[in-house]
Amino acid sequence: MIHFPTHTNCTQIGNVDRTNGTKGEIVIHINPQITIDFDSISHMFIEINQLLVPFSIKTFSIKKNSLFIHFTDITSESYAEEFLLHSVFVENHAIIQQHTTSSNKYIGYSVFDKNIYIGIIKEILELPMHEVFRVITTNNKEVLVPHAENLIIEINADTKHIIMDMPEGLVDVCVS
């Protein structure tokens, strides 16, 4: 029987950003606040329909915050493209160090502009002037939403909803 770990015994390390080449290599944007012991792992987990599905690591290299990786079972560019924007996890024992900011607790929250659903926060990016939420919309588009206290109407930890009053025009970009 195949063992699928849970989100509680794994840590999200990043998201599949793009493919690289024609042989199935994918590029994962790694959360820079996490240090991973790659010597202690032989596989990673890609989130598919809220399940963490294991993939054996064939080869990998790291350049800045990007992990270039070949998984044993992903052998074509078209198959690799199926995982674009998916979250990638490793088991907790592989995490050497994790520096967290208070905003990271919002990963996975749903973002609304008043009563209009925008999408789910996949990552919080720390830019020089401020933080932004990297939100994936219902039509799999990526949008950056400023994390500014003056835009936030309500944060509900029970429902994992952030209700915002976004600048005019941003919603049009998000949902179109």
Domain end marker among 76, 98, 120: 98
For residue 112, being part of any structural domain is answered with yes
Of 25, 28, 34, nearest to 91 (Cα)? 34
First to last CA, the chain: 43
Q: What is the pLDDT of residue 43?
A: 93
Counted domains in the chain: 2
77 and 146 fall within a common domain:
no
Q: What is the pLDDT of residue 64?
A: 80
As a whole number of angstroms, the distance between CA 133 and CA 103 comes to 9
As a whole number of angstroms, the distance between CA 49 and CA 29 comes to 20
Per the CB < 8 A criterion, the answer to whether 124 and 133 are in contact is yes
93 and 129 fall within a common domain:
no
Of 163, 102, 172, 106, nearest to 133 (Cα)? 106
Q: What is the pLDDT of residue 5?
A: 81
For residue 30, being part of any structural domain is answered with yes
Of 174, 82, 78, nearest to 134 (Cα)? 174
Q: What is the pLDDT of residue 79?
A: 96
90 and 115 fall within a common domain:
no
The helix (H) or strand (E) run that includes residue 81 is helix 77-81
For residue 169, being part of any structural domain is answered with no
Q: What is the pLDDT of residue 76?
A: 96
14 and 93 fall within a common domain:
yes
As a whole number of angstroms, the distance between CA 88 and CA 83 comes to 10
93 and 125 fall within a common domain:
no
CATH number at residue 24: 2.40.30.60
Q: What is the pLDDT of residue 60?
A: 93
> pLDDT tens, position by position, for the chain (176 residues)?
456 688 888 888 999 999 999 999 999 998 877 888 888 899 999 999 888 999 999 999 998 889 999 999 999 999 999 999 999 999 988 888 665 555 677 888 999 999 889 989 888 887 777 788 888 888 888 888 888 888 989 988 888 899 999 887 776 655 54
82 and 111 fall within a common domain:
no
130 and 94 fall within a common domain:
no
CA distances 124 to 23, 26, 37, 84, Å, are 31, 21, 23, 18
For residue 47, being part of any structural domain is answered with yes
Range of the domain at 118: 104-164
